[in-house]
């Protein structure tokens, strides 16, 4: 039988004492875009911000070692000011190194530091971070405490949050999750993003770990009931705003991953209206495409490969007329020896169709 837990009751059982831990409110978690490797780089985040002003954005996971000891740490934490609110996700298991990496993130202007305690890949587990750390709540708490202590001296301290699973392998009881949250919260973490599946640390690929373990949303709902003082967001298998709104009846926030990457406009165009009550004008796919291509041109002028930017827009027109033509045109950008001409062709493609697309969409929104 699961034991209803509280942070105060659980901390002593873990042998942890963190007098007066610094706990800062995290940015609004009502809707966020999940950190995804090879997906949520600064270019995709810029694209998303053209569609939603309010969703919280996350970087790809950055290892503390790469950020602190890498040759070019700036490439891991570069972002545009328009991306705010934006969070830096870190991976690691050394409290001192994580604290140093977090300090770099705070100095760069990020709004939140998030710890990856949910990735189940073999490579991540071999580095002793990700989901395997659910088995070491004391170490996770030490990292949170070390980061908070380092950031307390910063002129702009920022909150530390944790993204995790409901369990790992055969450690997947309600009490296991409650104990983990209780121990980590005692160190000064008040926001937990829960992927509502457990992770198998061996035998499944990361993709299989996103699909095979069953989703148990009720576990995250119960966590919110057991810890009402904390911000609890839910993640996993959420594919539209209707489902997001339903989850928000039970938890504080919803994090969406693959659905947002595969069809960003279809998912996010109405997010500010439906989830935040913001009535600003919604741009059409074509208008967003043109704005994003202008951004791509600026990046190209700075030496960035065009495909590195445009690859994130493959799903922009999903479900709309011309989607296949758009995807084919983007695919042809890769390896094109004349990227400036390729960009000009993309702009022309959108411009030829912008009036029809704008008219069609505005008619649908008015219906």
More confident site: 18 or 192: 192
Residue 360 has pLDDT above 60, yes or no: no
Alpha helix (H) ranges present in 50-89? Answer: 64-69, 74-77
Outline which parts of the chain fall under CATH 1.20.120.1460. 285-366
Residue 172 has pLDDT above 60, yes or no: yes
Outline which parts of the chain fall under CATH 3.20.20.70. 7-270
CB-facing half-sphere around the CA of 234: CA atoms within 13 A: 25
Share of the chain above pLDDT 90, in %: 78
CATH class of the structural domain 7-270? alpha beta
Give which of 292, 366, 364, 318 is closest to 44, Cα–Cα: 292
Token readout for 104 is: 């770099």
Give the integer Cα–Cα distance in Å for 215 and 238. Answer: 10
Residue 367 has pLDDT above 60, yes or no: no
Quick: pLDDT tens for 208-261.
998 999 999 999 999 999 999 999 999 999 999 999 999 999 999 999 999 999
**What pLDDT shows up at residue 354?**
63
Q: Please give the positions annotated as active site.
A: 119
Question: Could you check whether the bond before residue 85 is cis, i.e. omega within 30 degrees of 0?
Answer: yes
More confident site: 316 or 15: 316
**What pLDDT shows up at residue 121?**
82
State the CATH architecture for 285-366: Up-down Bundle (1.20)
Vertex 41: Cα angle to 37 and 45 (nearest 5): 125
Quick: pLDDT tens for 82-140.
999 999 999 999 999 999 999 999 999 999 999 999 998 877 766 778 999 999 999 99
Burial class (CB in 10 A: 0-12, 13-18, 19+), 249: exposed
Give the integer Cα–Cα distance in Å for 29 and 255. Answer: 8
pTM: 0.90
**What pLDDT shows up at residue 27?**
87
Kindly state the DSSP code that residue 199 receives in the 8-state scheme: B
Token readout for 291 is: 């704005």
Quick: pLDDT tens for 313-358.
999 999 988 899 999 999 999 889 999 999 999 999 998 876 555 4
What is the average per-residue pLDDT within 293-301? 98
Phi then psi for 193, rounded to 5 degrees? -100, 120
């Amino acid at each position: 039988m699961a034991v209803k837990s509280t942070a105060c009751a659980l901390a002593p059982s873990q042998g942890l004492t963190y007098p007066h831990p610094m706990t800062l409110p995290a940015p609004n978690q009502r809707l966020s875009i999940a950190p995804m490797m090879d997906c949520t780089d600064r270019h995709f985040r810029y694209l998303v911000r053209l569609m939603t002003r309010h969703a919280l954005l996350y970087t790809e996971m950055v290892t503390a070692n790469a950020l602190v000891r890498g040759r070019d740490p700036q490439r891991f934490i570069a972002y545009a000011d328009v991306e705010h609110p934006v969070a830096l996700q870190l991976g690691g298991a050394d409290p001192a190194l994580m604290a140093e990496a977090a300090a770099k993130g705070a100095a760069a202007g990020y709004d939140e530091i998030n710890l990856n305690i949910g990735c189940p890949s073999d490579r991540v587990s071999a580095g002793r971070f990700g989901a395997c750390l659910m088995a070491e709540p004391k170490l996770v708490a030490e990292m949170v405490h070390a980061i908070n202590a380092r950031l307390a001296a910063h002129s702009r301290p920022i909150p530390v949050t944790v993204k995790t699973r409901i369990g790992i392998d055969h450690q997947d009881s309600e009490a296991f999750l409650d104990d983990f949250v209780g121990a980590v919260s005692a160190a000064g973490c008040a926001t937990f993003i829960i992927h509502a599946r457990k992770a198998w640390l061996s035998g499944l690929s990361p993709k299989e770990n996103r699909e095979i373990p069953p989703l148990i949303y009720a576990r995250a709902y119960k966590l919110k009931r057991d810890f009402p003082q904390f911000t609890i967001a839910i993640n996993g298998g959420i594919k539209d705003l209707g489902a997001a709104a339903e989850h928000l009846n039970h938890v504080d926030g919803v994090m969406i991953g693959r659905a947002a990457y595969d069809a960003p406009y279809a998912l996010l165009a109405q997010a500010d209206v439906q989830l935040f009550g913001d009535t600003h004008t919604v741009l059409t796919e074509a208008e967003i495409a043109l704005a994003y291509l202008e951004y791509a041109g600026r990046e190209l002028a700075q030496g960035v490969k065009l495909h590195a930017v445009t690859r994130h827009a493959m799903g922009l027109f999903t479900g709309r007329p011309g989607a296949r033509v758009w995807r084919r045109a983007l695919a042809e950008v890769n390896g094109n020896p004349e990227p400036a001409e390729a960009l000009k062709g993309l702009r022309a493609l959108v411009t030829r169709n912008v009036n029809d697309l704008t008219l069609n969409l505005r008619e649908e929104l008015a219906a």
